Amino acid sequence: MAVHNQYGKLAESLACDLVIQKGYTVLERNYRFDRAEADIIARDGDRLVCIEVKARSRLKYGLPQEAVTRSKIRQLVKVMHHFVTERDIKQEVRFDIIAVSGKGKTLEIEHIEDAFYYF
């Protein structure tokens, strides 16, 4: 596995640990529909939360959360629409981003709740 893929898997594991520590219940990891994928789907109280994890070891090309483009947002909305439809879920969906940056002991994790809205 390439180093960047290992870093991404580490970031997803750290993000999952973080939301569990915050009291979320993780329902799915790497949930796929068509070509879309939600990194983490969790429940926070009475809300369903789709969490996109973005990681960068260096900030040379910008913050990790800046990599969540309009196209990516459309894909996340698509996958969550399928998830709630398939399971007949009638809850509001919130979209969060967990940004992981740095290396080793300087790793930083930022949880951005309600990172974007869909219409």
pLDDT tens digits along 3-62: 567 888 889 999 999 999 999 999 999 999 999 999 999 999 999 999 999 998 888 888
Q: Give mean pLDDT, residues 59-79.
A: 91
- Per the CB < 8 A criterion, the answer to whether 19 and 42 are in contact is yes
pLDDT, position 2: 57
Q: What residues does 37 pair with on adjacent strands?
A: 32
Rg (CA), the chain: 14
Q: Give mean pLDDT, residues 99-115.
A: 90
DSSP annotation of 87 reads: T
Q: Taking 80 as the threshold, does the pLDDT of residue 114 lie above it?
A: yes
Instruction: Choose among 42, 51, 3: nearest CA to 23.
Output: 42
pLDDT, position 6: 83
Separation of alpha carbons 58 and 64, rounded Å: 9
Domain coordinates of the chain in residue numbers? 3-116
Q: What are phi and psi of 32, to 5 degrees?
A: -115, 145
* Predicted TM-score (pTM) of this structure: 0.91
pLDDT, position 43: 97
pLDDT, position 1: 63
Which one of 3.40.50.1360, 3.40.1350.10, 3.90.45.10, 3.40.50.300 gives the CATH number of domain 3-116? 3.40.1350.10
Tell me the longest C-alpha to C-alpha distance in the chain: 43
